Amino acid sequence: MQTSRTFVKRTRAGAVVKVVREHYLRDDIPCGAAACRRCPLRPDAPAPSLETQPGGAASSLCPGPHYLLPDTNVLLHQIDILEDPVIKNVVVLQTVLQELRNRSIPVYKRIRDVIQTPEKHFYSFTNEHHRETYIEQKKGETSNDRNDRAIRVAVKWYSEHLKKIEDEEKIQVIFLTNDRINKEKALEEGITAYTCEEYIKSLVANPELVDRLACVSDEGKEIESGKVIFPEHIPLSKLQQGIKSGNYLQGTYRASRDNYLEATVWVHGDAEEKEIIIQGLKHLNRAVHEDIVAVELLPKGEWVSLSSVVLQDDGQNEDDIETEEEKENILKTSVSKDMLRPTGKVVGIIKRNWRPLCGMLSKSEIKEARRHLFTPADRRIPRIRIETRQADKLEGQRIIVAIDGWPRNSRYPNGHFVKNLGSAGDKETETEVLLLEHDVPHQPFSQAVLSCLPKMPWSITEQDMKHREDLRHLCICSVDPPGCTDIDDALHCREIENGNIEVGVHIADVSHFIRPGNALDEESVKRGTTVYLCEKRIDMVPELLSSNLCSLRSDVDRLAFSCIWEMNHKAEILKTRFTKSVIKSKASLTYAEAQMRIDSATMNDDITTSLRKLNKLAKIMKKRRIDNGALTLSSPEVRFHMDSETHDPIDLQTKELKETNSMVEEFMLLANISVAQKIHSEFPEFALLRKHPAPPPSNYDILVKAAKSKNLEIKTDSAKALAESLDKAESPTFPYLNTLLRILTTRCMMQAVYFCSGMDNDFHHYGLASPIYTHFTSPIRRYADIIVHRLLAVAIGADDTYPELRDKHKIADMCKNLNYRHKMAQYAQRASVAFHTQLFFKSKGVVNEDAYILFVRKNAIVVLIPKYGLEGTVFFEEKGKPTPRLDYNNEVPSLTVEDTTLCVFDKVKVNIMLDASNIQHQKIQMVLVEPKIRGNDVPANLSTETSSNNEPEKKKRKLRK
């Protein structure tokens, strides 16, 4: 049967047009109940999901077998409940899914995942195309009221339909809605309806589910005082008008880590005034980190500067607003007019960016209390008020909480308990926390993804050899860090008949196994990158590919994508060609093993000869690159040595880089540049490239001042000038100074990003001094490289294109996601290093080490300990201790503490220890030992250790046995 749907819509130009769409209705859409014999079985229809005898939790309200049918708001707000294994046999209507998709894509994706989980028995019913459940919108009826009526019609149809099932105990259909009017209408129509809260509280065997109920209405949940704390949010329609007229500004709200009464809003699409300061509780007005907000600028007379005060929200009293006002007064310090910045107040929320949050319960001091405060691990998120009966059990545990709402008369937002992760401080728990907090997808690969993998045993077929060169005769080898199993790249070098040199970079052909649009491809793009933690690797692709079929291991045939150059002995490129290939690596070497071969006087085999030629060419290429203005920066990386039994860190060292590291890097850079040139010449509008923007001149202020304090000049007008002045910045009496300057220069840099060539004009890579660049050499661990492989394959006629690959808007959106995933992976890796550093010093007691001052603050110094590659802050203000006299000089820069002046790059001695006083925010504490500060009595010999070579006490005892 065919009907039509008519609606009006506004075009981009502003015109209103009438749209008529054909709408087909069918009789053969099944109800999804396994016991039903009345519904026709269509070959294309999904298998019945709803159980014959519905299992799940027993309800005191409806003790008989029943299916649940929730409305949109229940799905939207109670997704944590619906995901619980106890909740089964749920009918999800097409109407509800469509509304959900328009209102929250993340929740929509979660419910789709639940529907696809067989053991949950959720069924998606296409009610909008079923002849008996489709309804037309009545005249004067809102879309929302029409959808509510459509849901009630579907519930009623299900109830009548299931009554006709013979020889079975009658199955009831329970309608779940939190909408009072909708529930009343359902009851009038003879439908069994409950609120979600009523139904969950009736599950007597599962009282823990009550804690997970989202606080969907602020009625009855208000704090007892009822005092209004915050201004009302302006409705969205008025906000949009205000933004259009210029009365309000739209931007992303960024809360401060160090001061809970301060935030900044980064204005969207405003080139001049990017940042607006927000100060004070009322002006912050219930915005949460990363929300999209509307801001009203304050008069210039009320503008402020960012405060240098550290304020942590550690109060338990929700009603103590007077204390908040006192703290706000601390922020108001007199500053010169040129320090004042645009300041505003949040007037409304355009889009919430609430996510599940990890943290710990701050148990109420009131006995038998159900209401407690949750303290998130992320200091930028406010505390959250939750209700739970499990407070005793959850104390000292890492838990997940979701925010539900933030009423005007509550100091904190309301939320609900979602999940217990485990004991705080436990290694597995803390790893899970850091992955969740940095939004790293780390769930096991689904069956749909694994089904895309090739069947084992796998071998190269004749079909695979089409469009490929057989390069198995070449002397190819790989050089990687020790323990590397995901080997992306391999190299070869040989002299050819005309006296020139042929060099090949061979990269794993991952795009051969990951085909566009399948489940494996979708999962890979969602993950974006492999994340390397200290003890764990979160793979972008399943292990069968990452460590086996795609890994270019020695002595096995592997598919590759090869970039081959003909060079002269001056490392000048004469010819470049790209080909899909089959290779057989002759050796998988570590950097140290390759270096040993190059340095050996006795080894002269083919692999060693090849490595020596590569190394010689790499040195010429690196010199040429640096002469062209490429930067050689420094960033200390650390390596942990783990106890083989406990897996706790027993030693911590900075990574040592060898010539072979540089050798491999040079050829990877060359391959990336060569491929970037090729794909851009073929596809100027949709090549995926990588750029590194030049930093704004103000970024270099700290570097220039620090160098000047040591009578050195750093020029920053170009990358070449910077590179040359860094090379000259040497001190015979202070050899480590140049390394410190390069570390500081790294901090001045902008983040490198992926972009689509058709959406940008500036392609330049500042750090590499290259006019064009991309990523081609690591497709096992970076999704960007897979797209680049696909573009290159199309360019050389080795593979077919597909629509998304030629859509610059799709490529640009993908780049945005990849940039986010790479940034989060970096943060997760740093958090893992920080956690393992804490574990290391936990077993060490107090360690005394040499350090250098990197930055000077108003009340602290930031130091670097070269031995460990560790950075930390030495504070000169402590709670409960008299504050020493502090004099900060921004020009030098220096900090005078009592009579001792501390300058950037000064060598000092510090005591390092673990401060575990706050179990959630354990941190490395550093105390200055030398030079000695008057009145600061820290004995230099307090240290229990002065060398990282000593074994921790537990290990020593083990060795004595």
pLDDT at 726: 86
**pLDDT surpassing 80 at residue 829:** yes
Region 334-354: what's the mean pLDDT?
Answer: 82
**Spatial separation of the C-alpha atoms in residues 389 and 208, rounded to whole Å:** 8
CB 484 within 8 A of CB 496: no
pLDDT at 223: 43
pLDDT at 185: 93
DSSP string, 780-835: TTBHHHHHHHHHHHHHTTSS---GGGG-HHHHHHHHHHHHHHHHHHHHHHHHHHHH
Alpha helix (H) residue ranges in 683-749: 701-708, 719-728, 737-748
**Spatial separation of the C-alpha atoms in residues 690 and 756, rounded to whole Å:** 9
Dihedral (Cα; 792, 630, 828, 862), 10-degree rounding? -170
Token pair of 231 as six digits: 């201004």
DSSP letter assigned to residue 639: E
Helix 94-103 to helix 105-115 angle (10° resolution) is 140
pLDDT at 99: 92
Instruction: Specify the amino acid at residue 46.
Output: P
The 10s digit of each residue's pLDDT in 605-616 is 999 999 999 999
pLDDT at 708: 85
State phi, psi for 220 to the nearest 5 degrees. 75, -5
Helix 606-627 to helix 591-599 angle (10° resolution) is 100
**pLDDT surpassing 60 at residue 277:** yes
- Which residues have CB under 8 Å from 515's CB, separation 6+? 452, 521
Res. 948 pLDDT band, cuts 50 70 90: very low
- Which residues have CB under 8 Å from 164's CB, separation 6+? 38
Strand partners, 10: 16
The 10s digit of each residue's pLDDT in 88-99 is 999 999 999 999
Region 254-276: what's the mean pLDDT?
Answer: 80
Measured in Å, how far apart are the chain's first and last C-alpha atoms?
A: 84
Quote the percentage of the chain above a pLDDT of 90.
46
C-alpha distance from residue 851 to each of 38, 156, 656, 791 (Å):
79, 74, 19, 48
Res. 29 pLDDT band, cuts 50 70 90: confident
Judged on CB neighbours under 10 Å (0-12, 13-18, 19+), 570 is exposed
**Spatial separation of the C-alpha atoms in residues 312 and 330, rounded to whole Å:** 13
**Spatial separation of the C-alpha atoms in residues 264 and 533, rounded to whole Å:** 31
- Provide the 10 A C-beta neighbour count for residue 371: 15
How long is the chain? 961
Q: Which of 843, 891, 847, 883 is nearest to 865 (CA)?
A: 847
Instruction: Specify the amino acid at residue 897.
Output: V
Strand pairing category for 122-125 and 90-93: parallel
**Spatial separation of the C-alpha atoms in residues 164 and 67, rounded to whole Å:** 15
The 10s digit of each residue's pLDDT in 834-870 is 888 888 888 788 888 899 998 888 888 889 888 887 8
CB 311 within 8 A of CB 261: yes
Judged on CB neighbours under 10 Å (0-12, 13-18, 19+), 416 is buried
Token pair of 472 as six digits: 């198995």
SS (H, E, C) 332-386: CCCCCHHHCECEEEEEEEEECCCCCEEEEEECCCCCCCCEEEEEECCCCCCCEEE
CA angle 941, 947, 950 (to 5 degrees): 115
The 10s digit of each residue's pLDDT in 127-141 is 998 989 999 888 888
- Helix, strand, or coil here: 294? strand
Judged on CB neighbours under 10 Å (0-12, 13-18, 19+), 563 is buried
DSSP letter assigned to residue 119: G
CB 36 within 8 A of CB 162: yes
The 10s digit of each residue's pLDDT in 874-905 is 888 776 677 788 888 877 788 888 888 898 88
**pLDDT surpassing 50 at residue 218:** no
Q: Which of 27, 18, 21, 15 is nearest to 3 (CA)?
A: 21
**Spatial separation of the C-alpha atoms in residues 191 and 159, rounded to whole Å:** 8
Judged on CB neighbours under 10 Å (0-12, 13-18, 19+), 244 is exposed
pLDDT at 478: 96
The 10s digit of each residue's pLDDT in 154-188 is 999 999 898 887 656 788 899 999 999 999 999 99
Instruction: Specify the amino acid at residue 378.
Output: D
Helix 606-627 to helix 659-682 angle (10° resolution) is 70
Quote the percentage of the chain above a pLDDT of 70.
87
Region 65-79: what's the mean pLDDT?
Answer: 92
pLDDT at 333: 56
Q: Which of 67-81, 222-236, 865-879 has the highest mean pLDDT?
A: 67-81
Work out the mean pLDDT of the chain and round it to a whole number. Answer: 85
